[in-house]
Structure 1
Amino acid sequence: FLAFAYVFYGIAIASLLLVLVIGQKGSGAQRWLELGFLHFQPSEWAKLATIFVIARLFTDCRDWLRQKYIIALVFAVVLLPMLLIFKQPDLGTALVFAPFIPSLLFWGGVSPMVLFSIFVPFLTMIASFNFYTFFALMIIIVMILILSKRELWYLLVNILLNIVVGIVTPFLWHSLHEYQQKRVLTFLGLVTDPKGASYQLIQSKVAIGSGGLWGKGFLQGTQTQLRFLPEQHTDFIFSVIAEEAGFIGGMIVIVLFAIIILRGIKIAASARSQFSSLVAIGMVTLLLYHVFVNIGMVMGIMPVTGLPLPLVSYGGSSMLVSMAAVAFLINISKRRYEY
Structure 2
Amino acid sequence: MLINKPPDNFKLLDIPLVLALLVLLSFGLLAVFSATQNANPAIANNFSKQLVWVLVGLVVFTITMLTPLKVFQKYAYIFYGISLALLVLVLVVGGGAGVKRWFLIGPFRFQPAEVAKIATIFALARFISQEHRNLNKLIDIGLAFAIVVGPMLLIMKEPDLGTALVFPAIILPVLFWAGLSLFTAFLIIAPLLSLVAAFNLTAFFIVMGIIIGVMVVSGRGLKVIVPNFLLNVGVGIITPLLWDHLHKYQQSRILTFLGVEQDPRGIGYQVLQSKVAIGSGGLWGKGIGDGTQTQLRFLPEQHTDFIFSVIGEEVGFLGVLLVLLLFLFIIWRSLNIAQSCKSRFASLVVVGAAMVICFHVMINTGMTVGIMPVTGLPLPFLSYGGSAMLSNMVLMGLIVGAGLRRFEYF
- Secondary structure of 2:168's counterpart equals coil
Partner of 1:101: 171
Which region of structure 1 is more displaced relative to structure 2, 182-191 or 223-232? 182-191
Report 1:1-339 matches (<5 A).
Answer: 1-26=72-97, 28-35=98-105, 39-60=109-130, 62-63=132-133, 67-166=137-236, 168=237, 172=241, 182-183=251-252, 185-186=254-255, 188-190=257-259, 191-339=261-409
In 2: Cα distance, 1:175 partner to 1:91 partner: 14
Which region of structure 1 is more displaced relative to structure 2, 16-25 or 139-148? 139-148
Change (3 A) 1:90 1:160: closer
In 2: Cα distance, 1:9 partner to 1:204 partner: 37
Change (3 A) 1:175 1:271: closer
In 2: Cα distance, 1:65 partner to 1:189 partner: 35
What's the CA shift for 1:142? Answer: 3.0
What's the CA shift for 1:63? Answer: 4.7
Q: Counterpart of 1:280 in structure 2: which amino acid? A: V
Which region of structure 1 is more displaced relative to structure 2, 82-91 or 154-163? 154-163
What's the CA shift for 1:151? Answer: 2.6
In 2: Cα distance, 1:277 partner to 1:170 partner: 35
Per-residue displacement from partner, 1:59-87 (whole Å, max 9, x unpaired)? Answer: 23635786212211122111111111112
Alignment TM-score, normalising by the size of structure 1: 0.91
Which region of structure 1 is more displaced relative to structure 2, 284-293 or 102-111? 102-111
What's the CA shift for 1:89? Answer: 1.4
Q: Counterpart of 2:200 in structure 1: which amino acid? A: N
- Secondary structure of 2:357's counterpart equals helix
In 1: Cα distance, 2:117 partner to 2:338 partner: 18
Which region of structure 1 is more displaced relative to structure 2, 92-101 or 151-160? 151-160
- Secondary structure of 2:104's counterpart equals strand
In 2: Cα distance, 1:280 partner to 1:85 partner: 23
In 2: Cα distance, 1:206 partner to 1:330 partner: 37
Contact 1:189 1:302 in 2 (8 A): no
In 1: Cα distance, 2:88 partner to 2:208 partner: 41
Q: Counterpart of 2:214 in structure 1: which amino acid? A: I
Per-residue displacement from partner, 1:187-228 (whole Å, max 9, x unpaired)? Answer: 644323222232221211111111112211111111100011
Aligned length: 337
In 1: Cα distance, 2:354 partner to 2:114 partner: 15
- Secondary structure of 1:34's counterpart equals strand
In 2: Cα distance, 1:78 partner to 1:110 partner: 16
> Which runs of 5 or more residues in structure 1 are unaligned?
none
Partner of 2:42: none
In 1: Cα distance, 2:381 partner to 2:246 partner: 39
- Secondary structure of 1:198's counterpart equals helix
RMSD after superposition: 2.5
Identity of aligned residues (%): 50
Contact 2:84 2:151 in 1 (8 A): yes
Q: Say which structure, 1 or 2, has more relative contact order (CA 8 Å, 6+ apart).
A: 2
Per-residue displacement from partner, 1:236-292 (whole Å, max 9, x unpaired)? Answer: 000000011111111110000000001111111111111001101000110000000
Contact 1:207 1:224 in 2 (8 A): yes
What's the CA shift for 1:146? Answer: 2.5
Contact 1:128 1:169 in 2 (8 A): no
Alignment TM-score, normalising by the size of structure 2: 0.76
Change (3 A) 1:110 1:38: same
In 1: Cα distance, 2:297 partner to 2:184 partner: 49
Per-residue displacement from partner, 1:271-321 (whole Å, max 9, x unpaired)? Answer: 111100110100011000000000001111000000000011110110111
Partner of 2:30: none
In 1: Cα distance, 2:92 partner to 2:243 partner: 34
